[in-house]
Amino acid sequence: MKNEILSHLPPEHPWGQSLYWYEELPSTNALAKDMAREGAPHGTVLLADSQSAGRGRLGRSFCSPPGSGIYLSVILRPNCPPDELMHLTCAVGVAACDAIADAAGFRPGIKWINDLVADGKKLGGILTELVMEGGIVRSAVVGIGINCCQMPRDFPPELQNIACSLFSVTGQTVDRAKLAAALIGHLEIMSRQLQERSAIMARYRRDCVTLGKEITVIAGDLRRNGRALAVEEDGGLLVQFEDGTVATVQSGEVSVRGLFGYT
Ligand code: BTN
């Protein structure tokens, strides 16, 4: 698989030298964080055919069966304070949409803040984890999971109504190596353009399907209905709640569901 992925990248691609492929891992993000602490360079890419303990946001798991998806983590070394990286997950979301558009021929949407969606269902997700040292981000591990080959019945029962795959959306088998290479290509470009926050956020807002929607904001056991008004420059979601109050919610604290469905 590694050679297949490399065959879709230009031979001189800066991240081609530090690409690792595994048949199975607990979690590519967990291993990438360990490797980052041990000094692995910017652009180290880890891919696994399956994960036994794939991780999602807010302590959730990410279903990662073999032969079915893309499970990729990349180590970035931005060397800046964390408040300059608030838009990183948004930038990764746009890069993932670019890659899927190139490799699968359609552009998914993004459900705030980090879910890739198509046909009102979850196609994949992004988990960004920072490794800090003395108030500086020593590294950011960006993890992307994309469901590629599953049929609806392949998902566990609790996901069958809310998950989809590139195959279930397009009816076509996607070349996973080509998609992995497209992700690596777009993530590398994104990592060089991270300073262009306004341009990135403008693109994110175009892809974000949550904007203008009736949503439920979920924080632990608390659920509040409202309308998503805007995505701010740091990725925060401006919400008008049913009682008329307007507040910004941050991705570390809450998740969002559509009032009338998953998105
Ligand atoms: C989410 O849906 O909340 C985020 C899912 C992120 C899954 C990817 S798969 C590759 C990387 N390794 C992990 O353990 N998680 C991320």
CA 262 – CA 162 distance, rounded (Å)? 6
**Mean pLDDT calculated for residue range 228-240:** 94
User: What is the rounded CA–CA span in Å between residue 98 and residue 186?
Assistant: 7
Please tell me if the CB atom of residue 155 comes closer than 6 angstroms to any atom of ligand 1. Answer: no
Q: Give the Å distance between the CA of 198 and the centre of ligand 1.
A: 26
CB 223 less than 6 A from any atom of ligand 1 = no
Under a CB-based contact definition with an 8 Å cutoff, are residues 174 and 183 in contact?
no
Per-residue confidence band for 253, with pLDDT thresholds at 50, 70 and 90: low
Q: What is the pLDDT of residue 138?
A: 86
Hey, whose CA ends up nearest to atom 10 of ligand 1? 71
Whether ligand 1 lies within 6 angstroms of the CB of 55 is answered as: yes
> Residue 251: CB within 6 Å of ligand 1?
no
Please report the pLDDT score of residue 219 as a whole number: 85
Q: Report the DSSP beta bridge partners of residue 128.
A: 142
Q: Which residues contact 195 (CB under 8 A, 6 or more apart)?
A: none
Q: Is the pLDDT of residue 222 over 90?
A: no
In this prediction, residue 252 has a pLDDT band, given cuts at 50, 70 and 90, of low
Cis peptide before 113 (omega within 30 of 0): yes
What does the pLDDT look like over 70-93, one tens digit per residue? 999 999 998 777 777 888 999 999
What separation in Å is there between the alpha carbon of 56 and the centre of ligand 1?
5
